[in-house]
Structures are given as C-alpha cells and as structure tokens.
Chains A and B, each alone.
Chain A
C-alpha cells in the first residue's frame, strides 16, 4: 500500500523496472534543496526576512579567508567520521557510536600530547594521531568483539559506549588531568605548540587534518573499488547469504568495518584536540559523530559524496552559529535542519526505485 494508490489523486506512484541512475545522483541535491526551502520557511515563521536570513546563514560565514578556513576546519571531523561510517554501513554494520570513538580518540591522542608532547618534539603530532586512531579502534573493538563473539547488536553497544566515553573524558578533566593552574576550570593544560597540527592558511584555523581527511577519502575510494577486502565487505553488506556461501567471513567483515570506522573517528577526535581546541575539555565535539551519520547517507556512502556532504554539513554548523549571533536565532536550529535533511534524503531515495505517473481515471 503506497500513498496515492487510490483516491482522487491525478498521480500514481509506480515501481521502476530498474533503479534510476539519474535519481541516484539527484537524490542528495534534491534533499538539500528541500531542506533549504524548509529552512527559509522556518525563518519566515520566526519573523525573519528569509533572504536576509539566507545571507546570514550561508553567505556571510564564508565571505572571508577566515570563514572558508572555518568551513574546512569543521568539515574535517565530519569527513573523517563519515568516511569510516560509509565503509561500515556499506558492509551492513551499524556503528552509530562514532561520537564515542571520537571522544576516546581525543583522550588517547590528547593524553599523549599532554604528557609526552614536549619530549616528542616535532614527532608529537604523528604519534598523537596514531594514538588517536588506536584509541578509536579500541573503543570500536568492544562492539566488534561483542557482535562477532556474542551476537550482540553493535547498534546498542556502540551507542552506550558514547555515554561511557564522554563520562570517562569528563572524569579525566575534572580529576587527574585537570590543569592545576586552570583556576578550577575542568580542562587540561594547553598542549605545547609543537604538539599542535600545523595550520594550512595564514589567517585561518584550518590545519593539516583537512589534508589527512582528503587523503583518506582517496584511500577509501581505492579500498572500496580496487581491493578484494573492500569488495568482500560490500558483498557481505548487500547479500549476506551469498557472501557466506562464497566463503566470505562475516566475522572478519565486522571487525574490519568497526576498526576502520573507529580508527577514523578516533583520528577526528585527536585532530580536534590537536587543532582548534588545543587542550582536553569536558566536551570535545558538538555532536560531529552523530552528524556524520547524516553526512554518510547524504554522500550516498561514496567517498566523493561524503567529501561534498561534509562541506554542506559544516556550512550548516557555521550558519547556525552566525544566525545565533546576528539574528538571535536559537543555536538548536542547526540540529533541526540536520534531522530534517536526513528525512528528506530518505524520502528522495524513494524516487530511485519508484516514479510518479500521471493517470486520467481515478480508479483502475
């Protein structure tokens, strides 16, 4: 039973004989446009001039070098997390705890930077990045182990570990890692300069993390299209029965998917700590790990799509901040747009498999 199946509608929804390639490309831009239209409508309802609000939301934040740098800076953790999640979801493994893996990556990488940053000198950033990746992997290893060994849903386990990871970080910065000279603020000492990622542009905060994310996008493209492991993971995701008949190990796929996405999210966490934040504090991410779920779907689980989608999502974050400052709109408007975007996307995907057809009579 599809809507418009009966009743006086002049349109019918019917299944296409094969999925539409054009719609496959168009669904994400369509969803973004629908979200934009909704956004303008919301601005109108809130009594703001939609054109002015659009300018404040999308144009002003990126009309300076600093602004462009911020766009790329915020896109970095989104891109890193979403690239990993895309690999994961293509393998039909539902890691929704990237936020937790990001947090633990921030703890492990940031911890190395705090305690060995000065001693490591110019080696500090690479060692910290590696520690961040390992931290994220370790956190993702828990759902991987419990799913592959005890058949426990990775959805629940990875999500519960988000809360546990955040509480762990909170404990560390309130307790043992708190800066004694920090006037009782729950934060660590600032990282030494040599432990910070080098900036890319003068007059902007975007750092080498963005380049790492782009390189990983290329690697993930290669992994998905040119390696046997990437192929096996996709088969395992699309047709689990066929995969197991062909001798593809489900257990290995689960581990690979969670290690890749956990490592990428951990990298995102340490990039935040060694980048814009520069220290450990109780909250290291405004929900990048959850927004990355939307980014992964918006990018149609494809590396190139993820790169573009993370830029759009980053623009949403920036626009939200700008609208908050200039139009006194609530910051939560970004969260509203993010959620609406994913809904529009799921609805737009319908037209990959179905199309609207005009009919003359109202009943068949």
Chain B
C-alpha cells in the first residue's frame, strides 16, 4: 500500500464530507433556534435538482448554487409557515417536506436525467498545489470545500461570541423568556429555518454538480438524514459536526476503496456501512441521557406562539 492511495482516499473523503457539512451546519443553526426540521433530505434533493438544472441551462455553476440556495429557502419557507405561524407539528411537517421534496425534485428534474455537467474546477495555489502529498491533500479542492470550513468557523464564532448568536440561542432555549425580553422570537426562528434551507440547497447542489456531476432521482440516498444525525452526534457544536462529517466522509469513501484494498465482502454490505455507522454513533452519543440533556436546545421541536 503506497502513500498516494491513502492521499487519494483522504482527499475524496473531504469531498464526500462537504455536502454533509453544509446540510448539517444549516440544520445546526435551525435547531439552535429550537426548530427541528426533518426535511433536510427533501431540501437537499430540491437543491440538487434546481442547482443542476440552472447550472446546465445557464452554463454558470455560480447561478446554479444561487438557485439551489434560493430553492432551499423557498421550500424551507413552506415548513416555517406551517410550523412557526400555523403551529403544525414539526416532526410531521418535516417528514412532509422530505416526501414532497422527493416527489417534486423527481417531477421537476425529469428533463435533466442523463445530461452531463462540467464540475467545479479545483482551486490551484501556485507552488503549493504541486507539492507532493500536502498539495493534493490540502490545496487541491474546489472553492466550496474551503467555504464549508470557513462557514463552520463563522457559525461557531457567531453562536459563541456575537449578540446575534446569543439571541438565536436564547430563542432556542427559552422562547417565552426571550420574547418577554423583547426578542422577535418567531422572526428569529423563521430566519434560522430559512438559513437551514439555503444550506441544504447548497449541499444538494454540491452533490449534483461536483461530487457526482449528474442529476438522478433520489440521489441524496439518505445523506440528509445522516446530516441530521450528525447534528446530534456533534452535540449541536459546529466544530464537532465538522469532525463528524469528515468521519462519515471517510466511512463513505472507504467502502468504495475497500474492494481495491483487498477486502472481499459483497458490495451491498460495504454500502450499508454509512447507515450502520450512523446508528452506532447515535447510540454512543445518546447512551448517556445527560449528554443530550446538557447540549440539546431546551425548546427543540416544540412550538412557541406568543400571545395565546
């Protein structure tokens, strides 16, 4: 086994982790505002479809990503109106969002199946990219990979160190108190849900225009759910979510390379790995109820309606 293979594996793990990071970081912000949006899978699919469609039609991936974020915001708005304004059950509405996103993206994207798209080119840093090992490992990704890491840092800093973050967390922990102190609790929750939608849309578009540059019905294959699980795994902390995403990226990629590495297990069992790993890490994190109790936003998944 030579080092180049391991570098290739590590580099593709980073790619596989990137959509998970966008989706999970968006959902993290939503959940820190106390809203549980189980529609990540649906929002990702709608983002993947619209990002791909606009990317192909306009020839510009930037427009594609903007469209994906916009589509994610629109469909998240549907969720927000139902749960935050109309007080619908968050779990049921999130499931509805996923089922709707699966159906809608398959329907609206039917004309784009089998069309190729030019994937996002990697950034090249003069000299550094040419370095052996370090070059392909650190300086040979597309801009979205770096953006996802920057986003993680930004969210971590915002939540911890800024007034915006404090207000968001207050609404997630105790919306009634935040409201009594003059915070527009419902508006903050709206914005958090829409942010989550935009990030899920981008995550989907990354999948369909960069990771596997094509559009296929249901192509997220449970990644939205894995992203949701990552938020729990990361105990609602951005840097831990990042770590979890890279862990899952590695698991996903290892199963692809396992055959080549001389592991003779039927491919179906290898494909089960990311899903089985999700269950295992959730059990590890949730085993002690105190871990969840101490980290989960206190009002997560519960509705809040001032004045009634």
Contact = CB atoms under 8 A, between A and B. Distances in A.
Given A175-B266, A332-B217, A340 B100 contact: yes
Contact of B92 (A2, A146, A334, A346): A346
B101 A339 contact: yes
B99 A153 contact: no
A1 B279 contact: no
B222 interface: yes
A164 interface: yes
Interface string B71-92: 0000000100110011111011
Interface residues of A, number: 47
Contacts of A121: none
A21 interface: no
Interface residues of B, number: 52
A175 B265 CA distance: 12
B275 A153 contact: no
Given A151-B287, A159-B222, A164-B272, A336 B103 contact: yes
B159 interface: no
B38 A338 contact: no
A209 to B, nearest CB: 24
Interface stretch (A166-174, A189-197, A254-262, A304-312): A166-174
A338 B42 CA distance: 13
Contact of B86 (A164, A336, A347): A347
A340 B228 CA distance: 23
B41 to A, nearest CB: 9
B279 A146 contact: yes
B93 A167 contact: no
Nearest to B187: A1
Contacts of A340: 100, 103
B221 A293 contact: no
Q: Main SS of chain A's interface residues?
A: helix
A160 B227 CA distance: 12
A1 B101 contact: no
Contact of B103 (A151, A164, A332, A353): A332
A171 B269 contact: yes
A82 to B, nearest CB: 13
A223 B298 CA distance: 35
B101 to A, nearest CB: 7
Interface in A317-350: 330, 332-340, 342-343, 346-347, 349-350
Interface centre among B88, B101, B272, B276 (most CB of A within 10 A): B272
A222 interface: no
Contacts of B104: 335-336, 339
Given A3-B81, A150-B286, A163-B275, A339 B100 contact: yes
Contact of A338 (B103, B232, B292): B103
A57 interface: no
Interface of A: 1-3, 15, 94, 96, 142, 146, 150-153, 155-157, 159-161, 163-164, 167-168, 170-171, 174-175, 290, 293-294, 297, 330, 332-340, 342-343, 346-347, 349-350, 353
20 contacts: A2-B305, A3-B86, A142-B279, A150-B283, A151-B287, A153-B232, A153-B282, A153-B286, A156-B279, A157-B279, A160-B222, A163-B222, A164-B272, A168-B272, A330-B106, A332-B107, A332-B110, A337-B103, A342-B100, A346-B86
